[in-house]
Structures are given as C-alpha cells and as structure tokens.
Amino acid sequence: MRATGLRAMLGVQWRTHRRGTLVWMFALIASMVATAAAIAGLYTTPEKIHTYAQAVTSGDALVAINGRVEGIDSLGGVIQDEFGFLAAFLLPLLGISLVAQVTRREEEAGRLEAVLGGRVARHVPVLSGLILASAAIFVTAIAFALGLIASGVPATRSVLYAASLGALAFVFAGLAALLAQVTLHSRGVYVWSLLVLAVAYLLRGVGDVTKTWVTWLSPLGWAEKAAPFGAMRWWTLLIPLAVGGLLATLAVLVAGRRDLGSSLVRGGAGSARATTWLRSPFGLATAIHRPAILGWLAGALVIAGMMGALAQQFVDAFTGNPAMAEAIGLSGAQPEDGFVAVTQLYIAIIATGYTVQAVGSLRGEETAGRLEPRLSGTLSRMRWLAAHGLVIVTGLVVIVAVSSVVLAAGTAWSMGTAVQLGRVAGAGAAYLPAELVVGGLALALFGLRPRAFPAGWAAFAVVAFIAFLGPGLKLAGWVLDLSPTTHVGNPPLGTVEALPLVVLGAIAAALGVAAAVGFRRRGVPQG
Amino acid sequence: MSTTQPVIRAEGLTKTFGPVRALDGLDLEVAPGEVHGFLGPNGSGKSTTIRVVLGLIRASGGHVELFGGDPWRQAATLHERLAYVAGDVALWPGLTGGQCLDVLGATQGGLDEARRAALIERFDLDPTKRVRDYSKGNRQKVALIAALAANADLLVLDEPTSGLDPLMEQAFQEVVRERREEGCTLLLSSHILDEVEALADRVSIIRRGRTVTTGSLAELRRHTRTHVHAVTVEAPAGLADALGVADYVCERLDGHVDSRFTVGAEHLDAVVGRLHTARIHTLTVTPPSLDALFLRTYDGQAVPLDATELGEPEEAGR
C-alpha cells in the first residue's frame, strides 16, 4: 500500500488538532513533573522514603490501587507509586483520545470523505493519526524523563519509567485505531477502549494482590513489570510495542479495505414514535444526559466496589502502620472512617467530573445546532435550563447515593460487620455542595462566556489534582483551599461543619443564578 | 388574526457581532397568507434576520415585530403559532427519526397526526432509523416534516431544500402550496432562485444586511427586460432603433435572419408587430425570471452565482 497523501494528511491533522493535543500533553507533563518535584521535596532522606515504602506495602489495598512497585524504597519508586493510579488512566486516555479525534470522529462528521476525495489513500488518515499520536506520546515521555531526572531520579531509570508509560499509551492508541475501524461512532471507540482499560486495571490489581502471572495479562502490568526502579527489565518494553504495533497494523489494513462510513458493529432500528415522557423537556434532557450519567456511575461503582471489597486489608494496614495513614493523607484513630473518607473523596472527584461533562453537553447541544430548534418552539429558555439543571443534579445525587450504598455493602462484606449506611452516605452527601460549585462554575461559563467553556475542565483538573495528590504532596494550605472539596472537612473521618457547606451551597446557587441571567440575555447560538 | 397586521415586520434592523455588521438597516414585511421569498447570497444576513425575528438573538438596533409582539421578550408565547426549520438541521443522534419528529413537534406546540403520517409517506422517510445513521437529506426531511405537519400559522424555512433530491424538492413544493391554500404564511429563505420563483408571492432581496428590493414578482418583473430570439424570413425593419430595445444582435443564417435582443415589457407589443411584418419563422420570448432580477439587483457586484447555471442569455440585465 502506498501512503499517498501522507504528508498532506499529517499537516491537516496537526493543524486541526494541535490545540487539543498540546493541552493534553501539557496537562500530563505538568501533573507528572509537579508530582515528581513535590515528592522529591518531601522525601528528602532515605529514612523518610523507607517509612513511606513500609507504609504502602503493608497491606494489599494500596497495591491493588497503585500497583506493586518494585524498588519502592527509592525516590523513583515513591513517585511511581504516587502517580500509579493517575498514570493508569491518563496515559491510556492520552492514546485513545489522540487517535479517536482524528479517525472515527472525522469520519462521522463527514470530513474524512472530503479528504479521501482528494489525493489521499484510504488507509492514510489512520496511519497519519497513529504517527501523530505516537509522536505526541514520544515527546510526552521525553518530557517525563527530563522532569524525573531534574527531580534527582537516576537518568537510566527515569528513561525506562518514562518509556514504559509511553509504551502503555501506545498500546491504547493502537487499540483505539482498530476500534475506530470496527465501530460506527467515536462514542463507541471511547466506550470500548475504556472497557478494555477497566478490565486491564482489574487484571493488574488481581495479579498484584495475588502475586500471580495474571498481572502479565494487562497492559498496565507490562508497564509495571518493566520495574524501572527495581530489576530494570528493558525487554518488557517489547510487549506493549509489539502489541500496539500489531493493533496499529491491523487498523491500517482494515482501513485500506473497508468502505467509507462502514463498520462491523452497527445499531439496529428503533421506535418510530416518541413517548410522552420523551416529548417533555425533562424527558428529552434525561435522554441527553443518560449516557454520561451511566458512564460516570460505572466509574464510581468500580472504585466504590473495589475499595469496599478491600476494606479489611485497608483497615489492617491502618491499624498495623500509622505511617500509611499519613502516606495517603490521613491520620486518625478510626481506620474504617479513614478508609471511607478516602474512597468518598475519589467518588466526589468522579461526581465532579460528571457535572462538568453534563454541563458541557448543554454547550454541545448549542454548538451542534440542536439548541436553536429547541428554543424556537414554545419552550422558554428558563424552562429548558431548569429541566436540564434538574436532570443534571438528579444524576449527581444518583451517582453519589448508589456509589455510597455499594461502598457500604462492599465494606460490610469485606469486614464481616455491619456498616452504618447513614454514615457512609452522609459523607458522600457532604460533598454535594462542593461538586455543585464546580458544576455551577461550568454552568456560569455556559451562560455568560460559552466559548470559554473549556475553562470548566481546567477547573476540574485543578480540583482533581489537589484532591488526589494534595495531601500526599503536602501542598501549601492556600493551594489546598483552592479546591472546594478541601472545605468539606474530610468526612466521615473529620467533622463536617455546617457553615462551609452552606457557603459552598450559596456559591453554587449564585453561580447558577448568574448562569441563568447570562443565558437569558445572550444570543443563541454562539458558535 | 387581523388581516391587516403583518405577520412579520422588521424596520431598520441592525446587528453587530463584534466588528462585523451582519445586519445594516434591514426591512422585511411578511403579510398573512403569503409565501414570502427571502433571497440573498451566502452570508448576506438571511439566517441572522430569521434568528432576530424568532427572538433567538437580540437586534442591536431597529424594530422587529412577530404577530404584533416583541419576539425577544415573548419568544415562547409567540412561538406557539410558528414552526421553524433551521439552516443547518441538527437532530439528536441517539433518537430515531420518528422520535425526533415527535420531540420537534412537542417543541412547536403540536403536530397534526394525519399530516405527520401522510408526509412520512410522501417524503419516503424511514422513521425507525436512528438519526446518526441518516444521510443529510433524510435529516433534512425530518426537520421539514416536523415543520410542515405543525399546527402553525407561520412556517419559517431557512434554506429548506438543501440536501433534498429533485423528486423530494417537487414533493416539498406541492406541500408548501397546500399549506398556503390552508391559510398558512411562509417565510422561505433561499438562494435557489427557481424554488422561490415557483413558490413565492412576494420576495425581498437582501445584500450585506440591507434590503435591496422588495415586492411582488409582477412588480419586480416590470423593471426587468424580456429576452426575444426571433428567426424571420426578412430583416425586421428599424428594430435596432425601436423604443425599448437593447442588446440587439442580428445575423443571417441559412437564408433566415436571426435576431436576439431584450425589450422592456411595455414595448413588447410594438416589437412583435415589427417581427410579424418581417414574417416570423420561429419566435422565443423569455419573460424576465427571478434570476435576471437577482442579477440586476447585484448589478456591478461580484455575485456568487454562476451565470451559466441560470440558463439565461449572457446579457441578463447587465
């Protein structure tokens, strides 16, 4: 197959997607390097590193979440462990999103047709997307390595660690490229890749906890088994490179053979009539938000279920080693509460991400041109906004409530004792005002400055970074205070004060009012 | 509804988007029961005007009335009486075509069930297919059926036939005529002249956010010229200098005299008399089309219309 038009295609894809790509790379590099630098500043002596290593390896709970880090008794090992959870999701997501946005989404939008009508061979867009994604991953890995070396991690080990993460991203880029050929819509690419990622995460967790070969079944396991701060197995890099290369080759071959706009997986017919429910503003809003609600709920349930099932190991670790509590940002006498508090914070971040995405889909309705016909009927702007607001908040409450129940049930099963559901659910509910502040900010952007909506995701990134890594990195108080989750009071371990929650609720309400006023006054659509 | 009050009345509308002046003193009046063609090249402000009329965006200046009310303040109430097809039709990809029809219908305040069923048949639409699997033409059909089946006094259609095949265009024109006979008012924005000519009672032509001309087709035609192509046995006498004749070209072909020229409508009778005297062999008289009108309106401007596509003699009014 001659790659006719490859150079032109690379130019087009780079030009149309460079902004999103650079934002992704910058966010990843910044969070990684900031984590490395903060850890280097925190664990300044071998004793401190040793204490940390003792703490996190004293039970299976953290091993399941962050992975079994070989050579954890070193600065690099601490970094690999702290970054383990985030890296397991962010790097595959980097690969998936870079490829999905230049392949199936372009085809869906009909832009691929215009390109293939020119002097571009059928398989070239996928090939070019893979080349660009690989280049972005390569540059990100180099920046990782440099950041690690700058933080005082030995150079060879830094390079191996960065390479193992880059190879991980590459596997998922190849997977997404192949999925883009067999599913009809870019949503399918995301759904199936994320499903594979979830399975990979579970396999790695099971393998690490049981110390068996199961780890080797997971791309996340391959990265871990490179053991950059332990035995340094360079050859393990060959596995992800070979698998990713195989997936990528298959994708390019399939792309060269299949018809434009075709796929192996296709949706069937549906009902010819809309129900009364779907015709109502509330019903249509539910239909619009349901995929996001279910997706984020699934994510929250995986965390809640896994953590719940590991509750006993956690509690053992806490009681056995108080240093561990400190390592994950907790200290206190009630290990069970501490464990619930950590999990609820994770769930709160997932719920916050949901609110931003849900508000983002309002913006999506506008830019896709579906808001205009909606508002040219008898539906007033305020009723449209209110219906969506109600559905988004209901979805938020459902995510938090169901996750809390699953967490409580898992914990009760694992520990063999009765768990106070009210206490677990109350902790989840205490985060609602904080989640609504971020959602309210996103909504205010939608109402007042719709083109600046991506700032809502930036706010979420800051909140997530502070919540996940803030306590472990011992960030300054004012930095921690930037995130509304900090003000909730870490329930059920800490005490929840009414005043901060009321203030957070008031801020969320004020942002909501600002959004409504802005949305009422502005022109629709604003592209 | 009072018959004297216009359905849409806009006077001196202006709208600026930052430094861009999208509307610059635009006037538009649509009377009850008429099909009003709204013509202009791409980017001339047609969609912006429609959005102001619907209260989706607020005019920077000027006055606009919809059914005698203020569309910005009373949008939802006034919309009870109209249905709208946007220039870029976008539907919910996860719903089926039929579900979208019902959702759009509910948005507009109700569909006529019998008409809905009849139009699905007529436009040959499969309502059980998901929107994401539809072609552009099929998505357009969904939006059109939703509007045409609505219980509305006013239909606002922005470039309604883009993406439709000629057969469906035909069906569309038939349905529009039926709706007009039932007393419905239509505002039809387009840059396809044939379509407007086939349907419109009156037209407004706009350019760069300003109304250039408005009136009934008959009124507008009065200002344009009829094309005549005559083959006569003898050379017609004094035609070149006759009153109202222009662009006169005459040559001898195969023993006949071939004359082409344009003439003002009021002088047509006298000119045909002269041709008759010269013994007509064949005669083609092309009345002024909207195309000619359009080109005349943009006289001297770079018009984004291909003259060959108009099927008009080269000189159309220039």
What's the DSSP call for residue A330?
-
The residues pairing with B61 across neighbouring beta strands, listed in sequence order, are: B14
Which helix H or strand E contains B171, and what residues bound it?
Answer: helix B166-181
The residues pairing with B216 across neighbouring beta strands, listed in sequence order, are: B202
The sign one gets for the Cα dihedral B166, B171, B177, B179 is negative
Q: Is B75 close to A279, i.e. CB distance below 8 A?
A: no
The yes-or-no verdict on residue B250 having pLDDT over 70 is yes
pLDDT of residue B296: 67
pLDDT of residue A338: 80
Q: Is B102 close to A279, i.e. CB distance below 8 A?
A: yes
Task: State the average pLDDT over residues B163-187.
Answer: 93
Among chain B residues, CA nearest to A274: B99
Task: State the average pLDDT over residues A502-519.
Answer: 97
Closest-CA distance of chain B to residue A512, Å: 21
Which residues in A lie closer than 8 A to residue B91 (C-beta atoms)?
370
> Distance between CA B276 and CA B92 in Å, rounded?
63
Mean pLDDT over the full length of chain B: 86
pLDDT of residue A189: 83
pLDDT of residue A325: 62
Confidence of residue B200 (pLDDT cuts 50, 70, 90): very high
Task: State the average pLDDT over residues A396-403.
Answer: 96
| B80 and chain A in contact, CB less than 8 A | yes
> Distance between CA A261 and CA A254 in Å, rounded?
13
pLDDT of residue B57: 92
CB-neighbour burial class of residue B167 (10 A; exposed 0-12, middle 13-18, buried 19+): exposed
* pLDDT over 70 percentage in chain B: 89
> Distance between CA B162 and CA B177 in Å, rounded?
19
Domain extents for chain B? Answer: 8-220, 225-287
pLDDT of residue B300: 47
For residue A417, which amino acid is it?
A: T
The total of other beta-carbon atoms located within 10 Å of residue B124's CB is 11
pLDDT of residue B312: 35
> Distance between CA A107 and CA A251 in Å, rounded?
15
For the question of an ipTM over 0.90, the answer is: no
The yes-or-no verdict on residue A58 having pLDDT over 80 is no
Q: pLDDT tens across B1-42, in order?
A: 445 789 999 999 999 988 889 999 999 999 999 999 999 888
Among chain A residues, CA nearest to B120: A272
pLDDT of residue B311: 32
The yes-or-no verdict on residue A322 having pLDDT over 80 is no
The residues pairing with B205 across neighbouring beta strands, listed in sequence order, are: B39, B213
The yes-or-no verdict on residue A306 having pLDDT over 90 is no
- In contact, A140 and A166? CB cutoff 8 Å: yes
Q: Is B99 close to A379, i.e. CB distance below 8 A?
A: no
pLDDT of residue A518: 96
Select the more confidently predicted residue: A16 or A187: A16
Confidence of residue A112 (pLDDT cuts 50, 70, 90): confident
Alpha helices in A43-74 (DSSP H): 46-56, 61-66
Rg (CA), chain B: 23
Q: pLDDT tens across B212-237, in order?
A: 889 887 777 777 778 889 999 988 88
pLDDT of residue B297: 65
Q: Is B98 close to A291, i.e. CB distance below 8 A?
A: no
Mean pLDDT over the full length of chain A: 88
Q: Is A370 close to B103, i.e. CB distance below 8 A?
A: no
Which residues in A lie closer than 8 A to residue B76 (C-beta atoms)?
377-381, 383
Closest-CA distance of chain A to residue B90, Å: 5
Q: pLDDT tens across A442-464, in order?
A: 999 999 999 888 889 889 988 98
pLDDT of residue A263: 60
> Distance between CA A148 and CA B123 in Å, rounded?
64
- In contact, B149 and B105? CB cutoff 8 Å: yes
Number of H helices, E strands in chain B: 10, 13
pLDDT of residue B303: 41
pLDDT of residue A261: 66
Select the more confidently predicted residue: B74 or B299: B74
Which residues in B lie closer than 8 A to residue A523 (C-beta atoms)?
51, 56-58
Q: Is B76 close to A378, i.e. CB distance below 8 A?
A: yes
Select the more confidently predicted residue: B104 or A323: B104
Which helix H or strand E contains A390, and what residues bound it?
Answer: helix A381-415
Select the more confidently predicted residue: B179 or A54: B179
Confidence of residue B315 (pLDDT cuts 50, 70, 90): very low
Terminal C-alpha separation, chain B: 43
Which of B50, B204, B31 is CA-nearest to residue A376?
B50
> Distance between CA B278 and CA B210 in Å, rounded?
47
Which residues in B lie closer than 8 A to residue A381 (C-beta atoms)?
75-76
* pLDDT over 90 percentage in chain A: 49
Task: State the average pLDDT over residues B107-112.
Answer: 87
CATH architecture, range B225-287: 2-Layer Sandwich (3.30)
Confidence of residue B98 (pLDDT cuts 50, 70, 90): very high
Task: State the average pLDDT over residues A45-51.
Answer: 89
pLDDT of residue B307: 33
pTM: 0.81
pLDDT of residue A331: 53
- In contact, A204 and A278? CB cutoff 8 Å: no
pLDDT of residue B317: 34
> Distance between CA A143 and CA A31 in Å, rounded?
12
Q: Is A524 close to B56, i.e. CB distance below 8 A?
A: yes
pLDDT of residue B316: 33
Closest-CA distance of chain A to residue B131, Å: 10
The yes-or-no verdict on residue B71 having pLDDT over 50 is yes
Q: Is B106 close to A279, i.e. CB distance below 8 A?
A: yes
Q: pLDDT tens across A168-181, in order?
A: 999 999 999 999 88
Confidence of residue A141 (pLDDT cuts 50, 70, 90): very high
Q: Is B96 close to A271, i.e. CB distance below 8 A?
A: yes
Confidence of residue A321 (pLDDT cuts 50, 70, 90): low
Terminal C-alpha separation, chain A: 40
Phi, psi of B205 (to 5 degrees): -110, 130
Say yes or no: domain B8-220 is CATH 3.90.45.10.
no
The total of other beta-carbon atoms located within 10 Å of residue B8's CB is 25
pLDDT of residue B217: 79
> Distance between CA A158 and CA B180 in Å, rounded?
75
What's the DSSP call for residue A485?
G
The yes-or-no verdict on residue B309 having pLDDT over 70 is no
